[in-house]
Amino acid sequence: MADGDGKVRREVEGASQAPQRASEGAEEMDQHQTSEQLIEQFLAETGGTVSQTGASTDTAGVPSWEEEPLPEGHRSGFVALIGRPNVGKSTLVNALVGRKVTIVSSKPQTTRNRIRGILTAPEYQMIFIDTPGIHERPLRRLNKLMIQEAVDAIPDADVILFVVDVSVKPRREDRLIAELLQEKARHRPVIFALNKMDRLPVEHARELIEAYWAILPEHADSIPVSALNGTNVTLLRDHILQFMPEGPRYYPGDQVTDQTERQIAAELIREALFRYTREEVPHSVAVLVEEFTQRKSGTLYVAATIWVERASQKAIVIGKRGERLKQIGVVARGELERFIGGRVFLDLWVKVKPDWRDHAARLRELGY
Transcribe 179-237 into DSSP letters.
Answer: HHHHHH-TTS-EEEEEE-GGG--GGGHHHHHHHHHHHSTT-SEEEE-BTTTTBTHHHHH
Q: 46 by DSSP, 3-state: which?
A: helix
User: In the prediction, which pLDDT does 261 show?
Assistant: 87
d(CA 185, CA 165): 21
Range ranked top by mean pLDDT from 36-50, 119-133, 349-363: 119-133
| pLDDT for residue 287 is more than 80 | yes
342 confidence band (pLDDT: 50, 70, 90): very high
Q: Are β-strands 8-13 and 344-352 bridged in parallel, bridged antiparallel, or unpaired? A: antiparallel
| pLDDT for residue 96 is more than 70 | yes
Identical fold between 8-13+33-47+259-365 and 75-242: no
Contact, 259 vs 112, CB < 8 A? no
Contact, 164 vs 174, CB < 8 A? yes
| pLDDT for residue 226 is more than 50 | yes
Q: What is the mean pLDDT of residues 242-248?
A: 96
Q: What phi and psi values does residue 125 have, to the nearest 5 degrees? A: -140, 120
Distances (CA, A) of 287 to 105, 310, 368: 16, 15, 12
Q: Which of 50-59, 68-77, 325-334 has the lowest mean pLDDT?
A: 50-59
User: In the prediction, which pLDDT does 229 show?
Assistant: 94
| pLDDT for residue 19 is more than 60 | no
Q: Which of 3-7, 268-272, 307-311 has the lowest mean pLDDT?
A: 3-7
Distances (CA, A) of 19 to 59, 97, 326: 37, 38, 17
The sheet carrying 286-294 orders its strands as: 8-13, 344-352, 300-308, 286-294
107 confidence band (pLDDT: 50, 70, 90): low
> Is residue 216 packed enough to be buried (19+ CB in 10 Å), middle (13-18) or exposed (0-12)?
buried
Contact, 269 vs 348, CB < 8 A? yes
* Percent of residues, the chain, with pLDDT higher than 90: 54
d(CA 200, CA 192): 15
Q: Please enumerate in sequence order all residues whose Cβ is within 8 A of that of 34, keeping only pairs 6 or more positions apart, or say none.
A: 55, 56, 294
Q: What is the DSSP secondary structure assignment for residue 166, as one 8-state letter?
A: T
Is 95 or 103 the better-scoring residue by pLDDT?
Answer: 95
Q: What is the mean pLDDT of residues 311-327?
A: 95
Which class would CATH give 8-13+33-47+259-365? alpha beta
Note the pLDDT tens digit of each residue in 174-214.
999 999 999 988 889 999 999 999 999 889 999 999 999 99
Q: What is the mean pLDDT of residues 251-260?
A: 89
61 confidence band (pLDDT: 50, 70, 90): low
The fold adopted by the segment(s) 75-242 is Rossmann fold (3.40.50)
User: In the prediction, which pLDDT does 1 show?
Assistant: 41
| pLDDT for residue 55 is more than 80 | no
Contact, 118 vs 256, CB < 8 A? yes
Q: 79 by DSSP, 3-state: which?
A: strand
Helix (H) or strand (E) holding 134, with range, is none
Q: Are β-strands 190-195 and 159-165 bridged in parallel, bridged antiparallel, or unpaired? A: parallel
Q: Residue 138, Cα to own-chain centre: how many angstroms?
A: 21
Q: Please enumerate in sequence order all residues whose Cβ is within 8 A of that of 112, keeping only pairs 6 or more positions apart, or say none.
A: 132, 142, 146, 149, 368
| pLDDT for residue 320 is more than 70 | yes
Note the pLDDT tens digit of each residue in 127-175.
999 988 887 776 677 778 777 888 888 888 999 999 999 999 999 999 9
User: In the prediction, which pLDDT does 105 show?
Assistant: 62
Contact, 196 vs 166, CB < 8 A? yes
d(CA 144, CA 153): 14
User: In the prediction, which pLDDT does 2 show?
Assistant: 40
Q: What is the mean pLDDT of residues 314-343?
A: 93
Where exactly are the structural domains of the chain?
Answer: 8-13+33-47+259-365, 75-242
Give first-to-last CA distance, the chain, whole Å: 30
Distances (CA, A) of 155 to 64, 80, 182, 259: 30, 9, 11, 22
pTM: 0.73
Q: 86 by DSSP, 3-state: which?
A: coil
Mean pLDDT score across all residues of the chain:
82
Is 273 or 14 the better-scoring residue by pLDDT?
Answer: 273
Q: Please enumerate in sequence order all residues whose Cβ is within 8 A of that of 142, keeping only pairs 6 or more positions apart, or say none.
A: 112, 357, 358, 363, 368
Note the pLDDT tens digit of each residue in 23-54.
333 333 343 344 444 444 444 443 433 444 33
Q: Are β-strands 286-294 and 300-308 bridged in parallel, bridged antiparallel, or unpaired? A: antiparallel
Beta bridge partners of 129: 80, 116
Contact, 92 vs 163, CB < 8 A? yes
d(CA 87, CA 226): 11
